[in-house]
Structure 1
Amino acid sequence: MTPNHNEFDDFIDDDEEAPIADTRADGRLLRVPLPRLSPNRVNPRKDFGSLEELEDFGRSLKRRQIQALPVVTRTAYLKLWPEHEEQVGNVDFVIVSGERRFRGASAIGLPALECVINDDVAESRKTFLDAVVSENIDRQNFDAIEEANAVDVLVEAFGTARAVAEHYERGDAWVSQRRVLLRLAPAAQDLVRRRDLPLEYARKLGKLVKDHGWEQAEQLAWWEKEQQRQRERKNAAAEARRTPPAKEAVTEPQKAAVAPSFTAVKTQPEAGRASDGSAAVKPAKAPAAQPVKEQPARKADTEARESGPTEASLPEPRQGGTAEVPTTDTQPAEPGEAGADAGWVLPPGLGWEPVLHGLMAGMGELDRHKLTKRLSKVMEEELSAAEPSSP
């Protein structure tokens, strides 16, 4: 006969004799008093939170238990691990997963929890461990060290790391990256649990421990040095952001590469006279390169075409004559116009070569071309003027 509600409450007070209440017709969903339950001894999870956190969780379960605990019978469990008989004790069921719910309920004195019995989970150690671990792995409830212990237990049950990876449809690295954390010393593992040692560095340290056999002191010393390197890199990056980039200095070879400006040079006559009685002219030295600002091509062409010779570029005038020098506010006439280039000519007997050598030494190719055409025009006019007019 099924006990009524009042009778059930009376039974709850007697932990050892409290009955198991069937809450469903199929008999699988049961309300089981806590003293009739035992956690399994192969759960890799060890951190269930502080007492305060468990009490908060227990009060939540008292208001409403959303999820029932999966359990197996004591008999089915001890067939897999008979060595656990003493630890399990005289209970009816062993919890598969949900030990935190059991601890939370115990923290506030909750009398019972709803459970689902399923002995199929205890078919083999492999199936039981899969049920214990998979819920936490899939929900990422484990801390990294607990997960490493769980994967290690699975490898022992499945036989190989490859078998575990294939069962959970993961790569081989998924297994090795977790098991390597078990090489860390307890103090280093505590840093991982508290997330003071990030997993990236923890796995790197685990590989170093494997290669070099480091003890705990050496592991912690490596992490201290690694943190110092991180701080130095961070400070260097911050300093680089605060410091503006320096302007690039112009070197002497770069200065020399700047195109020189045209500078007219007045030739200096040598002391004495040439053998033919004309003034001897010494070729001028090439002017030093001068840096100039780049001008637009059209403006430069116009200035080169319209500007006449300067005083420094003119040859010495004839004896008794005065050379006319165009001023800056009076432009010379274009070639071919009346009076063009009037008032300055080469002295008699003086060749073009010394003059051209002195003037063209510091010119660019375009300026030399223009000057050559200009001087050719002047020579033609000189020769034409020197010919006797026809009767």
Structure 2
Amino acid sequence: MAGRRTSLASLAGAKVEDVPGRSDAVLMSLPLAKLHCTRFNPRRNFGTDEELREFGEKLKKEQLQPAVVVSRAAYLKLWPNEADRVGLASYVIANGERRYRASRLVGRPALEVVHREDVAKDRATFLDAVQSENNDRQDLDPIERAIAIETMVTELGGADQVATYYGKTKGWVSQQRKLLKLTPELQDLVAVGEMPVRVARDIAGLPLPAQTAAWSEHLERRRLEKEAGARLRAQAANPPEPLNAPASETIRFTAVNHDPAQAHPESTTEDRFTAVNQRPEQPQTLTAVHAPAAPPTREVPVQKPGGLPDSIPEPRDASREDEPTDGPGPKLFPYHDGLEAAHLLLHKMPPEERAKVYDRLGKDQQTQAARVD
């Protein structure tokens, strides 16, 4: 009876792979000479030499996170025309190029890596692995992310394939790539965060010669908005003094039809007009409670400053039959219209106050004439 052949590896409980790293990740320490960086890494800014050197010194003490690599054969199966670029390197770095550069800068001989052959099962998976570490750590700037999407579109054969792979719409892919339509100078501003991505995408839709001018206009508009906002905040913090003078400092003329029942017996027609002259230099306010039945039709005679009216009007006859003088109704205004009352007030005014009134009336007539013209 022929016996069955048994694998020694199965007896030992070890998993045998014809290509290390094909199914399970394998942690290794590889000399830098056996490693090569892929050209599909979208990252452009790896830091200054000083920053890389400082990072390399930390890696000498301990490398907490290994790089991810695929075999040369698996990589060239996806991109056969990369053979000359890869050279004699045995492995290609999918992510971890900054660790590789920092180690080489400080003379570190080897780099700890994880061999993941499944990362190279197809182009989309490899390109996604190249981006994923940077995206998860938010190390890529907006322009680098746009380059990554553009690379995938080129290598996978179109935006539809990229949209399907990420479960996005074709419009989303276009939005990511749109930043690459900016001029190189404006791309640099986006990369360092000086130009907002939303603004950059709007400007990217313009022709190249108009993009720089559009960015300058945006900066000027933002400057004006900031200045206006600063003024509003300053005004809110320090509100201006009210323009109206206090009531106690305002010259007030009050004409009121008093109820006969409340009128003082000794009061006369002239007592119904009260002039409180506290500060002549302040603006004057005229409050009329009883308005004339119809607007006056006569023009106010313009006198010389300080002059008196030609004549003092006489009160109208309160005993006219068509106008009641007693009973529950209001007592009528003692003159035919407001013009006659104004004549009486002008007669009682001091000369300097009367001059101010004439001056004001003259200005009002000039303004009215200008409006008519």
| Band the TM-score falls in, shorter-chain normalisation | 0.5 to 0.7
Q: Kindly state the Cα deviation for residue 67 of structure 1 after the two structures are TM-superposed.
A: 1.1
Amino acid at match of 2:230: A
Amino acid at match of 2:142: A
The answer as to 2:109 corresponding to 1:111 is yes
C-alpha contact (below 8 Å) 2:28/2:112 kept by paired residues:
yes
Amino acid at match of 2:234: R
SS in 2 for 1:65: coil
C-alpha contact (below 8 Å) 2:131/2:148 kept by paired residues:
yes
Q: Which whole-Å CA distance do the structure 1 matches of 2:244 and 2:125 have between them?
A: 73
Q: Kindly state the Cα deviation for residue 221 of structure 1 after the two structures are TM-superposed.
A: 2.5
Equivalence for 2:80: 82
Q: Which whole-Å CA distance do the structure 1 matches of 2:244 and 2:172 have between them?
A: 54
Q: Kindly state the Cα deviation for residue 204 of structure 1 after the two structures are TM-superposed.
A: 1.8
Equivalence for 1:98: 96
Equivalence for 1:186: 184
Q: Kindly state the Cα deviation for residue 60 of structure 1 after the two structures are TM-superposed.
A: 1.0
C-alpha contact (below 8 Å) 1:48/1:100 kept by paired residues:
yes
C-alpha contact (below 8 Å) 1:148/1:178 kept by paired residues:
yes
Q: Which whole-Å CA distance do the structure 1 matches of 2:104 and 2:85 have between them?
A: 18
Q: Kindly state the Cα deviation for residue 172 of structure 1 after the two structures are TM-superposed.
A: 5.6
Q: Kindly state the Cα deviation for residue 262 of structure 1 after the two structures are TM-superposed.
A: 2.5
SS in 2 for 1:356: coil
C-alpha contact (below 8 Å) 1:41/1:84 kept by paired residues:
no
Q: Which whole-Å CA distance do the structure 1 matches of 2:106 and 2:153 have between them?
A: 37
Q: Which whole-Å CA distance do the structure 2 matches of 1:353 and 1:310 have between them?
A: 26
Q: Kindly state the Cα deviation for residue 362 of structure 1 after the two structures are TM-superposed.
A: 4.5
1:142/1:108 Cα in 2 relative to 1: closer, same or farther (>3 Å)? same
The answer as to 2:235 corresponding to 1:214 is no
Residue-by-residue CA offset, 1:334-361 (whole Å, 9 max, x unaligned) = xxxxxxxxxxxxxxxx677545289623
C-alpha contact (below 8 Å) 2:36/2:93 kept by paired residues:
yes
Equivalence for 1:234: 226
% identical aligned pairs:
40
1:129-278 matched pairs, under 5 angstroms: 129-161=127-159, 163-165=161-163, 167-169=165-167, 174-207=172-205, 209=206, 213-215=207-209, 218-243=210-235, 244=239, 247=242, 262-263=256-257
Residue-by-residue CA offset, 1:33-55 (whole Å, 9 max, x unaligned) = 00000001211112111111111
Amino acid at match of 1:311: S
SS in 1 for 2:202: helix
Q: Which whole-Å CA distance do the structure 2 matches of 1:121 and 1:51 have between them?
A: 30
Q: Which whole-Å CA distance do the structure 2 matches of 1:83 and 1:40 have between them?
A: 13
Q: Kindly state the Cα deviation for residue 103 of structure 1 after the two structures are TM-superposed.
A: 0.4
Residue-by-residue CA offset, 1:119-149 (whole Å, 9 max, x unaligned) = 1111111111111112212221101111110
Equivalence for 2:369: none
Unmatched 5+ residue regions in structure 2? 1-19, 246-251, 271-318, 335-373
Q: 2:268 aligns with which of 302, 312, 317?
A: 312
SS in 1 for 2:36: strand
SS in 2 for 1:57: helix
Q: Kindly state the Cα deviation for residue 245 of structure 1 after the two structures are TM-superposed.
A: 5.6
Count of aligned pairs: 253
Q: Which whole-Å CA distance do the structure 1 matches of 2:224 and 2:46 have between them?
A: 38
Q: Kindly state the Cα deviation for residue 90 of structure 1 after the two structures are TM-superposed.
A: 0.3
C-alpha contact (below 8 Å) 1:58/1:108 kept by paired residues:
yes
Amino acid at match of 1:214: L
Q: Kindly state the Cα deviation for residue 170 of structure 1 after the two structures are TM-superposed.
A: 5.2
Equivalence for 1:51: 49
Q: Kindly state the Cα deviation for residue 178 of structure 1 after the two structures are TM-superposed.
A: 2.2
Q: Which whole-Å CA distance do the structure 1 matches of 2:241 and 2:197 have between them?
A: 40
C-alpha contact (below 8 Å) 2:34/2:89 kept by paired residues:
yes
TM-score, normalised by the number of residues in structure 1: 0.57
Residue-by-residue CA offset, 1:149-187 (whole Å, 9 max, x unaligned) = 001222334555455345445566643332111000111
Q: Which whole-Å CA distance do the structure 2 matches of 1:171 and 1:86 have between them?
A: 36
TM-score, normalised by the number of residues in structure 2: 0.59
Q: Which whole-Å CA distance do the structure 2 matches of 1:312 and 1:359 have between them?
A: 16
1:37-48 matched pairs, under 5 angstroms: 37-48=35-46
1:310/1:353 Cα in 2 relative to 1: closer, same or farther (>3 Å)? farther
Unmatched 5+ residue regions in structure 1? 1-21, 251-257, 265-302, 315-349, 364-391
Amino acid at match of 1:76: A
Q: Kindly state the Cα deviation for residue 27 of structure 1 after the two structures are TM-superposed.
A: 8.3
Q: Which whole-Å CA distance do the structure 2 matches of 1:32 and 1:239 have between them?
A: 63
C-alpha contact (below 8 Å) 2:42/2:148 kept by paired residues:
yes
